[in-house]
């Protein structure tokens, strides 16, 4: 039950705040020791956020040579997965 409530709150937040995924990805990126390669995976229903994510995290990715944002069914809606050759973080 607690999980369902939390999921409902997150989805509501995502629907009303289009910068949510960008902020979420930025928080995950801060936790990783960045390298030259970075992949960010988001749910297919969130693909409209890709261009906003790319522009919203550009400064944070200074020095990263390869950034790839893609959709994946393995990520839940409103969440993301950040992968680098130094680690993986999922929300």
pLDDT at 5: 46
- Higher-pLDDT residue of 11 and 58 is 58
Number of helices (H), then strands (E), in the chain: 3, 4
Token output for 8: 């409902």
Asked if 19 and 52 count as a contact pair (C-beta separation under 8 A), the reply is yes
| pTM of the predicted model as reported, rounded to 2 decimal places | 0.66
Residue 48 above 70 pLDDT?
Answer: yes
User: Looking at the chain, which runs of residues are DSSP E strands?
Assistant: 37-42, 66-71, 80-84, 87-90
Average per-residue pLDDT for the chain: 75
Give the sheet arrangement for strand 37-42, strand by strand.
66-71, 37-42, 80-84, 87-90
The pLDDT tens digits for 20-34 are 777 888 777 777 666
pLDDT at 52: 78
């Amino acid at each position: 039950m607690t999980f369902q409530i939390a999921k409902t709150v997150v989805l509501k937040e995502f629907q009303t705040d289009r910068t949510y995924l960008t902020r979420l990805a930025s928080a995950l990126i801060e936790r990783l020791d960045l390298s030259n390669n970075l992949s960010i995976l988001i749910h297919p229903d969130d693909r409209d956020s890709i261009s906003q994510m790319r522009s919203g995290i550009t400064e944070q990715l200074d020095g990263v040579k390869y950034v790839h944002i893609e959709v994946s069914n393995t990520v839940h809606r409103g969440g993301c997965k950040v992968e680098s050759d130094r680690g993986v973080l999922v929300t």
